[in-house]
């Protein structure tokens, strides 16, 4: 058994093996995060910032510490640049809100065919409001951004908003190349880190992006919480997104002045327990040996890719190598629908997969398909999970194909 499972309560009491390979959708929560959540809700539960009693003081300190954990996880320069959101989706909508006033009619937001709908629709809405338009970086047959084509797409680009790692093909984006493009064009760079954040700590300063969003539930924290990091001057350049408590400086009936970032973007009582638990999950992640975990993930991804490649009638979408990718693999079995595969793998083999368009319909169209099966790895997966997947697929193929 993979020893890291001891850190994940989901594996504590099982009457059957848990071959959980749907980590790109939601990972399991790590024990420190769950314990931090229970501790807060049991011992410290109270609102933050407005209480003077000791219990509220403890809650406020823990909440501030969580913001610092997120700062360290991202290697952000200051906790004032960490905005708690409900997840990547709200983070990306907030990013679009913050940047939209810079757009003039005719300007272009450069996205890509790899995007999850949550890094597409917010930009469509912003473009519509400002008379701007979207342009998409094409994708290679190997499921990667076709950055060779970047220069021909440059005209009037003001914002580049792309995924840091694909939730369908697993491809990791060459951010340095995009950074150079943004330097040359003056565009701002927004990264959707929803997938990448589950694979170890980040360095937004080295990446050179301007805004970065991710979700807690995909990186071993709870649901309902996420982070938007942004350069302070950008965060400070826009009006609030939502109005309410916690985000104001001074309010009269006629008008209000707004709190500085990050509070300007955190209207209302935040998900306090969620933020504290996310801080614990990020601390857990920072304490891991990601060189070892990365090697383990590549080894398992390689076994998965090799096994799939030798399965008759199996088509892999994206690169079949293990470099510059996360352990997310999409495929299809000839003549067997993705949901039939997923249902049978679960009921007959205890393997949890995802089938569908993965909220990436433009990419499905690019690959001329409607739905794929996706298997995605986390540090607690092991060879038995991959074997169960491959044996299960062989059985399904015999049964249905």
Partner 1 sequence: MNDALYDQAIIAEARSKTGAGRLDAPTVTAECDNPLCGDRITVDLAVQDGAISDLAHKTRGCLLTQASASLLARYAKGGDVAAARELRAAIDAFVKGQDDERFAILTPVRNAKSRWDCVTLPFQALADALADLEKRG
Task: Give the range of 38-46, 67-75, 111-119, 133-141 binding ligand PLP by CB under 6 A.
Answer: 111-119
> Which two structure tokens, joined as six digits, stand for 222?
């709870």
Comparing CB distances to partner 1, the nearer of 81 and 332 is 332
Which one is catalytic: 209, 219, 314, 359? 359
Q: How many residues of this chain interact with ligand PLP, rule: CB under 6 A?
A: 13
Minimum separation from the CB atom of position 92 to ligand PLP (A): 7
Residue from the set 355, 373, 379, 381 that interacts with partner 1 by CB under 8 A: 355
- Sign, CA torsion 199/203/204/209: negative
Give the residue with the Cβ less far from ligand PLP, 163 or 169. Answer: 163
Q: Which listed residue (344, 363, 375, 389) binds partner 1 by CB under 8 A? A: 344
Alpha carbon separation from 108 to 100, 155, 161, 303, 307 (Å, rounded): 11, 8, 11, 41, 42
Q: Taking each helix axis from N to C terminus, what angle separates 290-309 and 383-400, rounded to the nearest 10 degrees?
A: 20
Q: Which does 356 bind (CB under 5 to 8 A by kind): partner 1, ligand PLP, none?
A: partner 1
Indicate the SS3 state at residue 84. Answer: strand
Identity of the residue, 215 or 330, whose beta carbon is nearer to ligand PLP in the bound complex:
215
List residues bridging with 215 in a β-sheet. 226
Strand, helix or coil for residue 8: coil
CB 90 within 8 A of CB 96: no
Which C-beta is closer to partner 1: that of 156 or that of 337?
337
To the query of whether residue 359 is one of the catalytic residues in this protein, the response is yes
Total site size for partner 1, rule CB under 8 A: 17
Question: How far, in Å, CA of 112 to CA of 133, rounded?
Answer: 13
Decide whether 235 or 373 has the Cβ nearer to partner 1. Answer: 373
370: partner contacted, choices ligand PLP, partner 1, none (Cβ within 5-8 A by kind): partner 1
* Residue from the set 72, 121, 339, 382 that interacts with partner 1 by CB under 8 A: 339
Q: Shortest gap between Cβ of 346 and partner 1 (angstroms)?
A: 7
Task: State which of residues 87, 143, 273, 318 lies at the interface with ligand PLP (CB under 6 A).
Answer: 87
Q: Looking at 2, 46, 124, 343, which residue binds partner 1 (CB under 8 A)?
A: 343
The footprint of partner 1 on residues 299-338 (CB under 8 A) is: 337-338
Q: Binder to partner 1 among 79, 201, 356, 362 (CB under 8 A)?
A: 356
Q: What's the CA gap between 206 and 214, in Å, rounded?
A: 17
Identify what 332 binds: ligand PLP, partner 1, none; CB under 5 to 8 Å per kind: none
Q: What is the dihedral of CA 240, 245, 251, 256, to 10 degrees?
A: 10
3-state secondary structure of 112: strand
DSSP string, 138-207: -B-TTSSB-GGGGGGG-TTEEEEEEESB-TTT-BBP-HHHHHHHHHHH--EEEEE-TTGGGGS---HHHH
CA–CA dist 14, 3 (Å, integer): 16
Give the Cβ contact number of residue 243 at 10 Å: 13
As a whole number of angstroms, the distance between CA 50 and CA 259 comes to 15
Catalytic machinery residues: 359
Q: Where along the sequence are the contacts to ligand PLP (CB under 6 A)? A: 87-89, 116, 118-119, 163, 167, 192, 194-195, 215, 359
Q: Where along the sequence are the contacts to partner 1 (CB under 8 A)? A: 337-340, 343-344, 346-347, 355-357, 361, 364, 370-371, 399-400
């Amino acid at each position: 058994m993979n020893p890291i499972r001891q850190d994940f309560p989901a594996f504590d009491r099982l009457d059957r093996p848990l071959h959980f390979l749907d980590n790109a959708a939601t990972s399991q929560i790590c024990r420190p995060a769950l314990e931090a959540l229970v501790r807060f809700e049991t011992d410290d539960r109270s609102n933050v910032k407005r209480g003077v009693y000791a219990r509220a003081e403890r809650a406020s300190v823990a909440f501030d510490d969580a913001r610092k954990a997120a700062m360290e996880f991202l290697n952000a320069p200051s906790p004032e640049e960490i905005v708690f959101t409900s997840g990547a989706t709200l983070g990306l909508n907030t990013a679009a809100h913050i940047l939209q006033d810079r757009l003039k009619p005719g300007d272009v937001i450069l996205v890509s065919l790899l995007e999850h709908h949550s890094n597409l629709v917010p930009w469509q809405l912003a473009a519509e409001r400002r008379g701007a338009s979207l342009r998409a970086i094409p994708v290679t047959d190997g499921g990667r951004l076709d950055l060779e084509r970047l220069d021909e797409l440059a005209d009037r680009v003001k914002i580049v908003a792309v995924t840091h790692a694909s939730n369908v093909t697993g491809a990791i984006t060459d951010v340095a190349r995009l950074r150079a493009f943004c330097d040359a064009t003056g565009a701002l760079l927004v990264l959707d880190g929803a997938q990448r954040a589950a694979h170890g700590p980040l360095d937004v300063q080295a990446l050179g992006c301007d805004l970065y969003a991710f979700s807690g539930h995909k990186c071993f924290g709870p649901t309902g919480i996420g982070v938007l990091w942004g350069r302070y001057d950008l965060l400070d350049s826009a009006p609030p997104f939502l109005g309410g408590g916690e985000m104001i400086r001074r309010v009269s009936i006629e008008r209000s002045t707004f709190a500085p970032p990050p509070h300007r973007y955190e209207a209302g009582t935040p998900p306090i327990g969620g933020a504290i638990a996310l801080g614990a999950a990020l601390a857990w992640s920072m304490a891991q040996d990601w060189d070892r975990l990365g090697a383990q993930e590549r080894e398992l991804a390689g076994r998965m890719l090799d096994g799939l490649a030798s399965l008759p009638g199996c088509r892999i979408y994206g690169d079949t190598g293990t470099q510059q990718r996360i352990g997310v693999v999409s495929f299809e079995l000839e003549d067997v629908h993705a949901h039939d595969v997923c249902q049978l793998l679960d009921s007959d083999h205890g393997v949890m997969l995802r089938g569908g368009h993965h909220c990436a319909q433009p990419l499905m169209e690019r690959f001329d398909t409607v739905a794929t099966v996706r298997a995605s790895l986390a540090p607690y997966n092991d060879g038995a999970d991959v074997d169960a997947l491959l044996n299960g697929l062989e059985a399904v193929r015999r049964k249905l194909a």
